[in-house]
Amino acid sequence: MSWKLWTLKKSLFVYHVNVGACNNCDIEIVELLTPQYDVERFGIVLVGSPRHADALLVSGICTRQAEPRLQELYRATAKPCVVLCVGSCALSQGVFADAYHAGHCVDEAIRAVDPNAIIAYVPGCPPKPEAMILGVIKVWEKLEELAGGKPAAAAHPLAEVART
Amino acid sequence: MGLLGMIVALIVGSIGTIVLGLAAKWVDRKVTARLQWRVGPPWYQPAVDCLKLMGKETVMPAVARGTGFLAAPVVGLSGACLAATMLWAMNLWVGSGFVGDAIVVLYLFTIPSLATMLGAAASGSTHASVGASREMKMLLSYELPLTIALLVAIVHTGNSFRIAEIVGAQQSGHAVALSISGVLALIVAIFCVQAKLGLVPFDQAEAETELMAGVYTEYSGPPLAVIYITRALMLAALPIFLITLFMGGVHMTGWRVIVSVLQFVLLLVVITLIRNTNPRVRIDQGVWFFWYLVTPVALAALALAMIGQHYEVTWL
Ligand code: SF4
């Protein structure tokens, strides 16, 4: 495992993007930082600028207005940067799929910019914080797979939290 | 001391202070977490953060002026390193005739702020330029009380600007903070240090809820790591500066090492507590606070100290 991947597993700066969510997903995301889950134990913190981010946490259906902004945000991040789609809205636009204001799905919008983007999907309306933690572990497993190593992220202490 | 000795001292002093600063950063984050009833990050977290930023891509904004944008963090780091090394040297070799006075150290400590402004202005981002203007206003408001607080220490220790003599006078007599004016000056200096470190309630330049990351908005990868290291270094160096001026200097021998470590941790925890129990003030409130509240207190402390010196009342 390269040192870059190791540090990415020990320290993850997250930038939260709301592209038309109902705010319920956002509340669940903030819950990750509360004493109950406290993901700072694993070096995961929210940051204020996309340039600092290692992960974009996207919630919402990606409206027509928000779509170009989301793409611009993804371009602004320093790579490697992964994307986590949080909530049914971000996954498939849910019941809003045919609405007048809906743009493309979050993953389609991102893939239009970078076809090789690493995207994790966290279903739920809203997903439980445990599910988001599991999403982060899946991302690490994928990164390890891409780096050619055996996936060992399941042994990470975070996996323990996700299982409970 | 020859040129080689100075270079070795600079490298050792810088690396030592950076390690101490990363540890201080961890103490800061851990205390914050415990205050919020959380567990907090492991002890190696700040170092891993730096390492990770080193391995990331550097994004150059299309509108940025490359040279100023990339040179600014390095300039800031070198200024802070030099100041920290001088502090260590003057504390370690109190007796030697090491040239270097408090004004030089104070001046070197402003270089990180100046470099931050330069980099923010060169990055071409509106968020960063608003942050830079706020940083400048804060600099103009806290520099004066800090200098006056420094003068209090100087009046107490025999009117010399040489830090070695300030430390020496305190070690043979009593610490500056063991007098009324000394306590006032120390409180003033702690507020100024809080603003210098850019911590809440004086973090208007960074203000992540209004300005994304303010002056640091456009930085990514290795330059951001350099900024991170500079801030960690300042978090270690400024409390040491306060100990040097007001608390009898840093002791490196015998049981008094423990006293110095305790003083350092105490100052760090006070700074963290201020940061955690206050909201961010508006920029005009911040300037008002320093000009109309902190500066008069500092002036009063200076007057008390001068009266005390004139009539030889040591507790004034
Ligand atoms: S997935 Fe559900 S909770 Fe989340 S933004 Fe959509 S509607 Fe709201």
Kindly provide the b/e burial profile for residues A14-35, where b requires at least 16 CB atoms within 10 angstroms of the residue's own CB. Answer: bbbbbbbbbeebbebbeebbee
Protein residue closest via CA to atom 5 of ligand 1: A21
A14-25 average pLDDT score: 90
The answer as to whether A111 is a domain residue is yes
Sequence-distant (≥ 6) Cβ neighbours of residue B100 within 8 angstroms: B86, B89, B90, B162, B163, B164
Per-residue pLDDT, A149: 62
> Closest chain A residue to B211 measured between Cα atoms?
A48
Residues 169-208 of B with CB under 8 A from A: 206, 208
Per-residue pLDDT, B7: 84
pLDDT in tens, B174-231: 788 788 888 899 999 999 999 999 888 888 888 777 888 888 888 888 999 999 999 9
CB B91 within 8 A of CB B180: no
Residue B43 neighbours by CB distance under 10 Å = 13
pLDDT in tens, chain B (316 residues): 678 877 888 888 889 999 999 999 999 999 999 998 999 899 999 999 999 998 888 888 888 787 888 888 999 999 999 888 888 887 777 655 566 688 888 888 999 999 999 888 888 888 888 989 998 999 999 999 999 998 988 888 877 788 877 887 787 777 887 888 888 999 999 999 999 998 888 888 887 778 888 888 888 889 999 999 999 999 999 999 998 888 877 777 777 788 888 889 999 999 999 999 988 888 899 999 999 999 999 999 999 888 888 887 777 7
Instruction: Give the closest-approach CA distance of A95 to chain B in angstroms.
Output: 32
Choose from B36, B37, B38 for mutation: most chain A CBs within 10 A. B38
Choose from A37, A47, A52 for mutation: most chain B CBs within 10 A. A52
The answer as to whether A1 is a domain residue is no
Q: How many domains does chain A have?
A: 1
A50: domain CATH number?
A: 3.40.50.12280
The reply to whether omega before B279 is within 30° of 0 (cis) is no
Which sequence spans correspond to the domains of chain B? 3-310
The answer as to whether A145 is a domain residue is no
Q: Is A87 in the pocket of ligand 1 (CB under 6 A)?
A: yes
Per-residue pLDDT, B300: 92
CA atoms within 13 Å, Cβ hemisphere of B65 = 10
Q: Is A131 in the pocket of ligand 1 (CB under 6 A)?
A: no
The reply to whether omega before B145 is within 30° of 0 (cis) is no
For the cut 80, the answer to whether the pLDDT of residue A89 exceeds it is yes
Q: How far is the CA of A92 from the centre of ligand 1 (A)?
A: 11
What are the tokens at B182?
Answer: 């000394």
Given an 8 Å threshold on Cβ–Cβ distance, is B56 in contact with A41? no
Given an 8 Å threshold on Cβ–Cβ distance, is A47 in contact with B213? yes
By most ligand atoms within 8 Å of CB, the mutation choice from A16, A22, A30, A92 for ligand 1 is A22
In eight-state DSSP terms, residue B279 is P
DSSP secondary structure, B196-211, as one string: HTT-TTS-TTT-TTTS
Residues from chain B that touch A35, judged by Cβ atoms under 8 A, are 36-38
Residues from chain B that touch A114, judged by Cβ atoms under 8 A, are none
The reply to whether omega before B42 is within 30° of 0 (cis) is no
- Which residues lie across from A57 on neighbouring strands? A16, A84
Q: What is the largest CA-CA distance in chain B?
A: 64
Given an 8 Å threshold on Cβ–Cβ distance, is A11 in contact with B48? yes
Residues 85-144 of B with CB under 8 A from A: none
CA pair distance B78, B131, nearest whole angstrom: 22
Residues 42-61 of B with CB under 8 A from A: 42, 44-45, 48-49, 51-52, 55-59
Best CA proximity match to B242, nearest among B148, B150, B144: B150
For the cut 60, the answer to whether the pLDDT of residue A164 exceeds it is no
Q: How far is the CA of A91 from the centre of ligand 1 (A)?
A: 10
Residues from chain A that touch B38, judged by Cβ atoms under 8 A, are 34-35, 38, 40-41
Per-residue pLDDT, B91: 77
| Ligand 1 atom at shortest distance from the alpha carbon of A24 | 3
- Which residues lie across from A45 on neighbouring strands? A13
Query: Mind spelling out the 3-state secondary structure of chain A?
Result: CCHHHHHHHHCEEEEEEECCCCCHHHHHHHHCCCCCCCHHHHCEEECCCHHHCCEEEEECCCECCHHHHHHHHHHHCCCCCEEEEECHHHHHCHHHCCCCCECCCHHHHHHHHCCCCCEEEECCCCCCHHHHHHHHHHHHHHHHHHCCCCCCHHHCHHHHHHHC
Per-residue pLDDT, A95: 86
- For A114, the domain range is 10-131
Tell me if chain A has a CB within 8 Å of the CB of B62. Answer: no
In chain A, what percentage of residues exceed pLDDT 70?
90
Per-residue pLDDT, B206: 83
For the cut 80, the answer to whether the pLDDT of residue A134 exceeds it is yes
For the cut 60, the answer to whether the pLDDT of residue A140 exceeds it is yes
* φ, ψ (nearest 5 deg) of residue B288: -60, -45
Q: Is A19 in the pocket of ligand 1 (CB under 6 A)?
A: no
Q: Is A60 in the pocket of ligand 1 (CB under 6 A)?
A: yes
Per-residue pLDDT, B189: 92
Find the angle CA(B222)-CA(B223)-CA(B224) to the nearest 5 degrees.
Answer: 90
Query: Mind spelling out the 3-state secondary structure of B224-275?
Result: HHHHHHHHHHHHHHHHHHHHHHHCCCCCCCCCHHHHHHHHHHHHHHHHHHHH
